[in-house]
Amino acid sequence: MVAIVVAVGATRSWRAALTGAAGGLIVLLVVIALLGTALQAVPLEPLRLIIGALLVAFGSQWFRKGILRVSKEGWSIGTGAEEVDSDVPPGFDWTGFVLSFKGVTLEGLEVAVIVAAFGAASNAFGSAVAGALASIVVIGALGLASYRVVARIPRRALQLFVGAMLITFGTFWSGEGLGVEWPAGDLALVWLGAVYVVAALVLVRLVGDWRTSMAERPPVVERTPAGAGR
């Protein structure tokens, strides 16, 4: 989100970029508030089962994408910059506003759901929202201070490891919702996370080797049957 806003601001209009970002953040805060209010009314055990399944679903998508991208392109650096141009019309730049608003809203919807889910499942909604806001302030300030710093964040690695983290919490809370007694209690999050991270690294290696073998395989030459051209 920050990379998109900074890219729009640097190439088009900071006023439009920041206004669009503010609008997108307001939308996300409303989503979090509505989801949090609704989720807090649900009993804790079934709530953890539902939220756990939700986090596994979200995390699996990030986990899969991270594995595929890392295995294909390596642990390389990537940015989230939106494709923007510098042809800015006079007056308020509505194109820059829409680009920034769209980037913040679309990129943040899954995060908004996760924040509400974490807060409700751990019965600490205020702490979850405070943590989300703190991360926006820190990363936003970092992005405004230096776009190159934001651009150097290894997004593929983040996507993979955040996916592993979400699956870890999802597995843990789903198990609690089903009445599973995890060994070592809350410390089960540590070994569950380690299992998923190791699995990710193994899958990256396996998929990378498979891609290499497919690239090195000689092309198949189709033979024309005898007499086919007669």
- Structural domain boundaries in the chain: 2-84+93-214
pLDDT band at 84 (very low <50, low <70, confident <90, very high): very low
Q: Tell me how far the alpha carbon of residue 38 is from its chain's centroid.
A: 24
Whole-number pLDDT of residue 222: 58
Q: What's this model's pTM, rounded to 2 decimal places? A: 0.60
Token couple for 174: 């789903």
* CA geometry: angle 222, 226, 228, nearest 5 deg: 80
Instruction: Express each pLDDT in 108-155 by its tens digit.
Output: 777 787 788 778 777 778 888 888 888 888 877 877 776 666 556 666
pLDDT band at 192 (very low <50, low <70, confident <90, very high): very high
Distance from C-alpha of 226 to C-alpha of 12, rounded to nearest angstrom: 63
Q: Is the pLDDT of residue 209 over 50?
A: yes
Q: Do 30 and 109 meet the contact criterion of CB atoms below 8 Å apart? A: no
Q: What are phi and psi of 132, to 5 degrees?
A: -65, -45
Residue 15 or residue 80, greater confidence: 15
Q: Is the pLDDT of residue 41 over 80?
A: no
